[in-house]
Chain A
């Protein structure tokens, strides 16, 4: 796992999500990247049930359970600003058992699907973010394989992203700030995705359909 940056690319003026994605992928192919299959990152939201809120005396927390096709045998569970647990695939079954305590906000399920491109040491994933049937945005994930210390290769990543994303290249992700010199891990990537999904969810301000 190398250092990864997840960013959102705004939809180009007058174009649809699909067309913007195509623009990006064509730029990548011109650069010389080769297509290497597809990827999918999805996120489900769980809400602490009302029954438990009362007894605990605190506001309900949102728990996100995410999967990444890059790590097919793992399941990521995280709280916003909280710990991120990496477990194996049986965690989903456990969430089914915890139905009474944590309820799945099914309408909040969000995912990003797209193609993977390999360009020497860089792995680029351009995906369409969809919530339900509608496409809401575009996510771009760039991974620089050889490096594991976030702050060491940020400049290189940014330069690379500028080469095909142009002015839409993002700033330093927030997770990098807390990392300092510790090793970057898959959990940090999932945190970035979670933040991206939350941002996209808030953008169009679609009301979260019934928690119950």
Chain B
């Protein structure tokens, strides 16, 4: 060991101060190192001056001699006895030295043992180990255990995942319902009553006074199986409408010839109109609610009409049977307004197969009925009801103006228009009927009679109670010359007012025959007027003209008119008499010189008298060439005018 090289050890003092206490915030309070005098005092305290140095011998001796260093001399011990640690590093050095000694010994022993010449290591006999267990079994068990542990963790995780997926699905369904509910709220008024959601599809908030609750219920559609594929038209929301508003309805307004027997009345004509196609993209509850609302409105219209039909006194009473109101606008004519409500159940499907004439139905009047009832709604809601200034009493604005602005009786009665829905719609129906019949009359005349021609120009802008048409009677080819007959017809509710170009105003009743007779008489007058105009153009002179001649056979329609025109040089004269029934009669007056069978007398001696016009001769008008009367007349005039 003496040959072993010296081992260098580096030592560092911690130089740490002792911790006196650790504060609550972790800060440490250090003990202050002792000063020189304090140190001396401490050491001095250690020295037991009462005891001799002999007691010091026991100390090193009692301490284990296990680490006696072989290289150390004994005097070292003595040194130790008498000099209690001269320097602080003494113990350290001793410990290190003993450690070195131990290490050297161990090294030596191991090197000798390795040689196996002088020392061997012999294992200690132990108990025989128990028969080796199947390592696979152990492995299996251990693997199983570990797998079970892993599986547990995975299962826990999987459980959490599946729970969250299920929640998501549920949320999605819930969210779908909520978003559908939101969409529903954008269109309809909803309120929550207890745990039910109810809605209002009546027109009450728009001003209706109809006593129907009109509430529908919103139900959550939960009968959906999440595992199966969700159908295309699945809607998480469903609405339940009141049972009496199911199906679809409309108001059928038609004008027919009076039904011969009353037994026909009251038959419920369920004409199943195809459900109006819902707008693409609008959910099924929207169409359902809209249809139910329409049914409600139709019911309200019909209720109002039947109430008025019973209350209002009119000359011919209105008949109200079941779902039909029948009234008589004109004699021989019947206006029937019926509420056609077809529900979706199978019973009515069979009834719907009966054929109905769809042209019978006046869509315009149905639309007008809807408009009128909405007008009534608006009346109750109108802001003219709110008083301005605010302290004034409630009441219609115009009524309050009646006092200060001194309204007279006409103004006041116009304020209180007490025309009900039924009266208005009957007036409209009358007008429509009258207009149609007038058009038919004019058209039938136009197609029947070619000469003269009758043209009708209907005005585009009409009123519900008034329409107008301009009727022109012309001859083909001579429109610029013969345009004296122009009639403006104002078709009202019960009468037709005719304004003639010459300023006359004639009022015709609703009778078809009156209009026809009038037009025929005007056509006959036109022919004679045409001759007058033609004469002007041709240079002929009008000798006499009369719209209503008192001679000749009496016409059953109107009066005959007559005209006599003379040729430019006076030789010839044409006399025309035209009547609506008797047609036209044309006579030509020749000069005396051309007539061969004139009796010669003694009175007229001079030859100059032969130049006067003499007797008349009738023209065979139907054998004349020319496509119409005026053309023929022109040819005649031309023939009688020598070049």
Which residues of A pack against B, CB within 8 Å? 1, 68, 70-76, 86-89, 185-187
Tell me whether A72 and B409 are in contact (CB under 8 A).
yes
Given contact pairs A72-B409, A87-B404, A185-B406, a sample of 10 additional A-B residue pairs in the complex whose CB atoms are under 8 Å apart: A1-B408, A71-B407, A73-B402, A73-B403, A74-B404, A76-B406, A86-B405, A88-B400, A88-B402, A88-B404
Q: How close is B416's CB to chain A, nearest CB, in angstroms?
A: 12
In the complex, whether B412 has a CB less than 8 A from a CB of chain A is: yes
Interface of chain B residues 407 through 436 with chain A (CB within 8 A): 407-409, 412
In the complex, how many angstroms separate the beta carbon of B415 from the nearest chain A beta carbon?
10
Q: How far is the CB of B271 from chain A (nearest CB, A)?
A: 50
CA distance A166 to B405 in the complex (A): 34
The distance in angstroms between the C-alpha atoms of A111 and B408, with both chains bound, is: 19
Cα–Cα distance between A75 and B405 once the two chains are bound (Å) = 10
Cα-based distance from A75 to B402 in the complex (angstroms): 11
What are the residues of chain B within 8 A of A71 when measuring CB–CB?
406-408
Interface centre among B404, B408, B409 (most CB of A within 10 A): B408
Cα A185 to Cα B405 in complex, Å, equals 9
Chain B residues in 8 Å Cβ range of A68: 406
A89, B406: Cβ atoms under 8 Å? no
- Determine if A72 and B412 form an interchain contact, defined as CB atoms under 8 angstroms apart: yes
Nearest CB on B from A141, distance (A): 13
Q: Please count the residue pairs between chain A and chain B whose beta carbons lie under 8 angstroms apart in the complex.
A: 36
* A-chain residues with CB within 8 Å of residue B407 when the two chains form the complex: 71, 73-74
Closest 5 CB pairs of A and B: A88-B403, A186-B406, A71-B406, A74-B406, A73-B402
Quick check: B403 and A75 within 8 Å, CB to CB? Answer: yes
A–B pairs, 12, beta carbons within 8 Å: A70-B408, A70-B409, A71-B408, A73-B407, A74-B402, A74-B403, A74-B407, A75-B403, A86-B404, A88-B402, A88-B403, A89-B403
Smallest Cβ distance from B143 to chain A, in angstroms? 106
Give residues in B with beta carbon < 8 Å to A. Answer: 400, 402-409, 412
Residues on the B chain within 8 Å of A76, using CB = 406
**Closest-CB distance, B401 to chain A (whole angstroms):** 9
Task: Find A1's partner among B402, B406, B412 (CB 8 Å cutoff).
Answer: B406
Given B403, B408, B409, B412, which contacts A87 in the complex, CB threshold below 8 Å? B403
Smallest distance from the beta carbon of A121 to chain B beta carbons, Å? 14
Q: Which one of B402, B403, B405, B406 has the highest number of Cβ atoms from chain A below 10 Å of its Cβ?
A: B406
Residues of B near A86 (CB, < 8 A) are: 403-406
Least CB distance, A65 to chain B, in whole angstroms? 14
Q: Within the complex, what minimum Cβ distance (angstroms) separates B410 from chain A?
A: 10
A residues less than 8 Å from B408 (CB atoms)? 1, 70-71
B406 contacts across to A, CB distance below 8 A = 1, 68, 71, 74, 76, 86, 185-187
Give bound CA distance, A1 to B410, whole Å: 11
Q: Shortest Cβ distance from B400 into chain A, in angstroms? A: 8
Instruction: Please give the distance in Å from B281's CB to the nearest CB on chain A.
Output: 56
Whole-angstrom distance from the CB of A156 to the nearest CB of chain B? 21
* Distance from A185 Cβ to chain B, minimum over Cβ atoms (Å): 7
Q: Which residue of B lies closest to A185 (CB)?
A: B406
- Give the one of A73, A87, A186 with max B CB within 10 A: A73
In the complex formed, the residue of B with least CB distance to A90 is B403
* Complex-state Cα separation, A72 to B408, whole angstroms: 7
> A70 to B410, alpha carbons, bound, how many Å?
10
The smallest beta-carbon distance between B397 and chain A, in angstroms, is: 13
Residues of A near B404 (CB, < 8 A) are 74, 86-88
Report the Cα distance A106→B407, complex, angstroms.
28
A89–B408 Cα distance when bound, in Å, is: 14
The interface residues of chain A lying within 8 Å CB-to-CB of B412 are 72-73
With the chains together, A186 CA to B412 CA distance in Å? 15
Shortest CB distance B607–A (Å): 63
Q: In the bound complex, how far is the Cα of B407 from the Cα of A86, in angstroms?
A: 11
Q: How far is the CB of B528 from chain A (nearest CB, A)?
A: 36
How far is B413's CA from A73's CA once the two chains are assembled, in angstroms? Answer: 12
Residues of A within 8 A of B405 (CB): 74, 86
**Bound CA span A71–B408, Å:** 5
For A185, what are the chain B residues with a Cβ–Cβ distance below 8 Å? Answer: 406
Q: A198 CB to closest chain B CB, in angstroms?
A: 22
A187 vs B405: C-alpha distance in the bound complex, in angstroms?
A: 10
Q: Which residue of the partner chain B has the closest CB to A186?
A: B406
Q: In the complex, what distance in Å separates the CA atom of A102 from the CA atom of B289?
A: 65
User: Closest B-chain residue to A70, C-beta based?
Assistant: B408
Residues in A neighbouring B409, C-beta threshold 8 A: 70, 72
CA distance A68 to B402 in the complex (A): 13
A74 and B409 alpha carbons, distance in the complex (Å) = 11
Residues in B with CB closer than 8 Å to A89 are 403
Question: CB-CB < 8 A to A72: which residues of B?
Answer: 409, 412
A160 CB, nearest partner CB in chain B, Å: 20
- With most chain A CB atoms within 10 A of its CB, the pick from B403, B404, B405, B407 is B403
User: In whole angstroms, what is the CA distance A71 to B409 when docked?
Assistant: 7
Query: What is the distance, in angstroms, from A105's C-beta to the closest C-beta of chain B?
Result: 25
Q: In the complex, A87 Cα to B404 Cα: how many Å?
A: 5
Alpha-carbon distance between A187 and B408 when the two chains are bound, in angstroms: 13
Name the residue on A nearest B409 (C-beta). A72
Report the minimum CB–CB distance from A80 to chain B (whole Å).
Answer: 20
List, in ascending order, chain A residues with CB within 8 A of B402's CB: 73-74, 88
Bound CA–CA A72/B413 (angstroms): 12
Q: How far is the CB of A87 from chain B (nearest CB, A)?
A: 6
Contacts of A73 in B (CB 8 A): 402-403, 407, 412
- CB neighbours (8 Å) of A187 from chain B are 406
**Shortest distance from the beta carbon of A49 to any chain B beta carbon, whole Å:** 27
CA separation between A72 and B405, bound complex, in Å? 11
Bound complex: CA of A191 vs CA of B190, how far in Å? 61
Residues of A within 8 A of B403 (CB): 73-75, 86-89
Q: For residue B402, which residue of chain A has the nearest CB?
A: A73
- B639 → chain A closest CB, angstroms: 55
Residue among A72, A185, A186 with the most chain B CB within 10 A? A72
Give Cα A131 to B405, complex, Å: 28
Closest-CB distance, A5 to chain B (whole angstroms): 17
**Complex: chain B residue closest to A187, CB-CB:** B406
Residues of B with C-beta under 8 A to A186: 406
Q: Please measure, in the bound complex, the distance between the C-alpha atom of A203 and the C-alpha atom of B467, giving whole angstroms.
A: 60
Nearest CB in chain B: distance from A39 CB, A: 11
Q: Which residues of B contact A75 (CB under 8 A)?
A: 403
A186 to B402 CA separation, bound complex (whole angstroms):
13
Tell me the smallest distance from the CB of A152 to a CB of chain B, in Å. Answer: 21
Chain B residues whose CB sits within 8 angstroms of the CB of A70 once the complex forms: 408-409
Docked Cα-Cα span, A185 to B404, in Å, equals 11
A87 CA / B392 CA spacing, docked (Å)? 14
User: Which of chain B's residues have a CB closer than 8 A to the CB of A88?
Assistant: 400, 402-404
A200 to chain B, nearest CB (A): 24
A1 to B405, CA, bound (A): 10
Closest chain B CB from A75 CB (angstroms): 7
Distance in Å: Cβ of A103 to nearest Cβ of chain B: 25
Bound: A118/B405 CA distance, A = 23
Name the residue of chain A whose CB is nearest to the CB of B404: A86
Q: How far is the CB of A73 from chain B (nearest CB, A)?
A: 5
Query: Nearest CB to that of B415 among chain A residues?
Result: A73
Min CB distance B377 to A, Å, is 28
Closest to B400 in A: A88
Complex CA gap A89/B402 in Å reads: 10
Q: Give the distance in Å from the alpha carbon of A73 to the alpha carbon of B405 in the complex.
A: 9
The interface residues of chain B lying within 8 Å CB-to-CB of A74 are: 402-407
A122 to chain B, nearest CB (A): 15
